Amino acid sequence: MSKRDLKKYLAQLNKEQLEEQIIELYEKFSPVKVFYDFVFNPKEDKLLQEAKMKISHEYFPIKKAGAKWKPKAKLRRSVAQKYIKHFVSLGVESFVIADLMLYNIEIAQTFSADNYIKQELFYKSMLNSFEQAVNFVISNEILTEFKPRIASIYEETLKQKWKNKYDFEVIFDKIDL
């Protein structure tokens, strides 16, 4: 069904029928419930803290009570990407999204400062995250607010001698003119 056909169909319904359909969608489909829950009670700070906690657990997992061993860090960028995509779909403020994007890289750098990472994919993944974050803050015209954190991330790649530090430099040079 096209958007045009949907508009025609909805125009034929009266107010009560529309309300019934929205309530049915709310009850039946989790994404609709999440959307309306967010619209009526945004709590962006709480969502951000939950996302940051999940992302940090990718690098610094917590030993469960009674467990004999500590879980290994998974280093999955996909966890952060899932939250970022979710925040964008909900229409979360761009400052919050940018904060999460940069936090993802910062927590990865905190981990790599004390742990040798031999997987090339980790560095490539962080480069992609850095490029996406820089492009995001530029396109949302919030570079001024986030430039110090971006610079700090770049400096940390130099300090840790990341294999692709020059690729970070190319991206950083876009904003450091």
- The model's confidence at residue 162, banded by pLDDT at 50, 70 and 90, is very high
Asked if 130 contacts 168 with a C-beta cutoff of 8 angstroms, the reply is: yes
Residue of 146, 169, 144, 143 whose CA lies nearest to 156: 169
**pTM for this one?**
0.81
Contact (Cβ atoms closer than 8 angstroms) between residue 26 and residue 37: no
Per-residue pLDDT of 92-117, as tens digits, reads: 999 999 999 999 999 999 999 999 99
Q: How far is residue 14's CA from residue 156's CA, in Å, rounded to a whole number?
A: 59
Q: What is the DSSP secondary structure assignment for residue 164, as one 8-state letter? A: T
Give dist(CA 162, CA 123) in Å, integer: 7
Does the pLDDT value for residue 177 go beyond 70?
no
**pLDDT tens sequence across 35-62:** 887 777 778 888 899 999 999 999 999 8
Q: Using the predicted structure, report yes or no on whether residue 159 has a pLDDT greater than 60.
A: yes
Structure tokens at 27: 């009850």
Domain boundaries, the chain: 1-41, 42-175
| pLDDT on residue 147 | 96
Between 35 and 133, whose confidence is greater? Answer: 133
Given a contact cutoff of 8 angstroms between Cβ atoms, the answer to whether 127 and 164 are in contact is yes
What is the percent of the chain where pLDDT is above 70? Answer: 99
- Range from 68-72, 76-80, 150-154 carrying the lowest mean pLDDT: 68-72
